Amino acid sequence: MPPRAVLVGPPGAGKSTIGRRLASALGVSFYDTDAAIERETGRSITSIFAAEGEPGFRAIEEKVVAQAIAEQDGVVSLGGGAVLSAATQDVRRGHTVIYLEISVSEGLKRTGANSSRPLLAGADPENRYRSLMRIRRPIYRKVATMRVRTEGRSPGRVVQYIVRKLDNDRARTRWPNGKRRDKRAEEQQ
Output the known binding site: 12-17, 34, 58, 80, 117, 136, 153
Q: What is the 3-state secondary structure (H, E, C) of the chain?
A: CCCCEEEECCCCCCHHHHHHHHHHHHCCCEEEHHHHHHHHHCCCHHHHHHHHHHHHHHHHHHHHHHHHHHHCCCEEECCCCHHHCHHHHHHCCCCCEEEEECCHHHHHHHHCCCCCCHHHCCCCHHHHHHHHHHHHHHHHHHHCCEEEECCCCCHHHHHHHHHHHHHHHHHEEECCCCCEEEHHHHHHC
Residues annotated in a binding site for substrate: 34, 58, 80, 136
Residue numbers in the known binding site for Mg(2+) are: 16
- Cβ–Cβ under 8 Å, residues 136 and 80: yes
